[in-house]
Amino acid sequence: MKIAVISDTHLGFSEKNARKDEALNNALEAFSLAIENNADLILLPGDVFDSKIPSLETWSKVFYLFNLSRKAKKPEIKILQEGRELDFDGIPVIAIHGTHEIRTKDFRNPLEVLQSAGFLFYIHANYLIAEKDSEKVAIHGFGGVPEQKALDVLKVYNPQPLPDTKNIFLMHQSIKEFLPTDDEMAVTISMSNLPKDFDLVINGHLHWFAEKLFEGGRLLMPGSTIVTQMKKFESEKQKGIVLINSLTMLTAFLPLSKQRKLFYEKISFNEAFPDEILSKFREKIQSFLSENSSDLIPLIRIRLKGTLAKGLTQADVDLQKVLQEFEGKAIFSIQKDFSSDSFKKKIQELRELHKTKKSVSALGIELLVKNLSETAFDSAFDVRRFFELLAEEDVDKAIAFLEKKEEK
Ligand SMILES: [Mn+2]
């Protein structure tokens, strides 16, 4: 059978600015590519939505999108759960939730809503079997969990491939080898922790395409269909979908025809004056604009760093005039990093906050987890669940939960 993988569509991303239609347009093309290429099954490895509680504007687009697969010609395929055949229209879609869609067990995530509406099958820590022409493929799913708990949860789940069946494992986490960091809690899963003896492990979350062998298996990262955080790796790879031939497990990458380009550059200076910086900055933007081959205006991310001539501060380097010259010609993300050491840490923290664009509640949980870790409470209770109960104003349940009156 032919299996299409479409990852990290981030529907609802930037819905209030110039990029508001990009996530949907890219997802529409991704679904169309899957349908035109006669996919028998579509897999979504998480972050289908950009937010765990999408707006009604996003929902209305999402229903339009999922009608593409639902109204497509139904392939000769069966989807089975514990031996029982499941009902669906069109091309079946199997999804896991990503880190953007995590909700605690009291609340439904948006993929469960799509499942209730009959648009897809949602799995988490279980599997479904796809069957076509006497060929069976088991799709195992492990939805995104907070990174610091990911390895522990994966060990408890301990997924096993089924015999006499092809086995695909869907997951949505960071992997150490792809995101080197000094923060041990930021990434807990390494390649060596990936489940073994599956025909293919598919990971969402990391937004650039990659394929890699590891001891006991093969990893596929389809990458996202849209640039969200402007990472350097994303400027080097195209966005698209992956088609898998389940007989051979060979994969093919199909790029989206319309995609916004991302240009990324770090420019270093040594005891520089503002004029020199501004002229290099302007030159770089001009050269990126001339390289752009897409109909869409590009994303340009430039990091200016190094040292300034004596007596100058970061405030003396005013980039506004140059940026105004190029207004409407690109979407910019510019970092000035000429700060002295004493300011560096604080600025870095603010920048990280800004970059991750986390919701207020996600930041709240992180702060709470961080502060608790420095007290005797540490991990005495499930902070995320408690916070979410409070955020939804389910105070009685939150108190019961703290008093442990509630059954676990
Ligand atoms: Mn993502």
Q: Ligand 1 mean position to 100 CA, how many Å? A: 7
Whole-number Å distance, alpha carbon 301 to ligand 1 midpoint, is 19
pTM score, two decimals? Answer: 0.83
Query: Which residues are CB-contacts of 223 (< 8 A; sequence separation ≥ 6)?
Result: 7, 8, 206, 207, 208, 209, 210, 234, 237, 239, 240
Backbone angles phi, psi at 209, to 5 degrees: -70, 140
What local confidence, expressed as pLDDT, does residue 408 receive? 44
Q: Which residue has the tokens 């069109």?
A: 90
User: Taking ligand 1, which is a single-atom ion, which protein residues have CB atoms under 5 Å away?
Assistant: 8, 47
180 forms bridges with which residues in the sheet?
Answer: none
Q: How far is CA 403 from CA 100, 107, 381, 384, in A?
A: 29, 20, 10, 16
- Tell how far the Cα of 217 is from the centroid of ligand 1, in angstroms: 23
State the distance from the centre of ligand 1 to the C-alpha of 120, rounded, in angstroms.
Answer: 19
* CA nearest to 405, candidates 217, 390, 397: 397
**Nearest 5°: CA angle at 249, between 246 and 253?**
100
The rounded Å distance from CA 319 to ligand 1 centre is: 31
Q: Cβ contacts of residue 295 below 8 Å, gap of 6+?
A: 258
Q: How far is the CA of 102 from the centre of ligand 1 (A)?
A: 12
The conformation of residue 96, written as its DSSP 8-state character, comes to E
Burial class (CB in 10 A: 0-12, 13-18, 19+), 260: buried
* Residue 128 pLDDT: 98
Q: Tens of pLDDT along the chain (408 residues)?
A: 999 999 999 999 998 888 989 999 999 999 999 999 999 999 999 999 999 999 999 999 999 999 999 999 999 999 999 999 999 999 999 999 999 999 988 999 999 999 999 999 999 999 999 999 999 999 999 999 999 999 999 999 999 999 999 999 999 999 999 986 666 668 999 999 999 999 999 999 999 999 999 999 999 999 999 999 888 888 889 999 999 999 999 999 999 999 999 999 999 999 999 999 999 999 999 999 999 999 999 999 999 999 999 888 888 999 999 999 999 999 999 999 886 544 556 667 777 777 666 677 777 787 888 888 777 776 777 877 888 787 777 777 888 887 775 544
Q: Are 11 and 51 in contact (CB under 8 A)?
A: no
Distance 165 CA to ligand 1 centre (A): 29
The distance in angstroms from the start CA to the end CA of the chain is 42
Tell me how far the alpha carbon of residue 122 lies from the centroid of ligand 1, in angstroms.
17
**CA 247 to ligand 1 centroid distance, Å:** 29
Which phi-psi region, left, alpha or beta, contains residue 134 (left: φ > 0; alpha: ψ -120 to 50)?
left
Domain locations in the chain?
A: 2-255, 262-343, 360-402
CA of 8 to the centre of ligand 1 (A): 5
Question: Rounded distance, CA 144 to CA 171, Å?
Answer: 7
CA of 98 to the centre of ligand 1 (A): 7
Contacts of 151 (CB under 8 A, 6+ apart): 188, 189, 193
CA-closest candidate to residue 92, choices 7, 154, 197, 2: 2
CATH T-level topology, domain 2-255? Purple Acid Phosphatase; chain A, domain 2 (3.60.21)
Question: What separation in Å is there between the alpha carbon of 210 and the centre of ligand 1?
Answer: 15
CA atoms 31, 33, 35, 37: torsion sign? negative
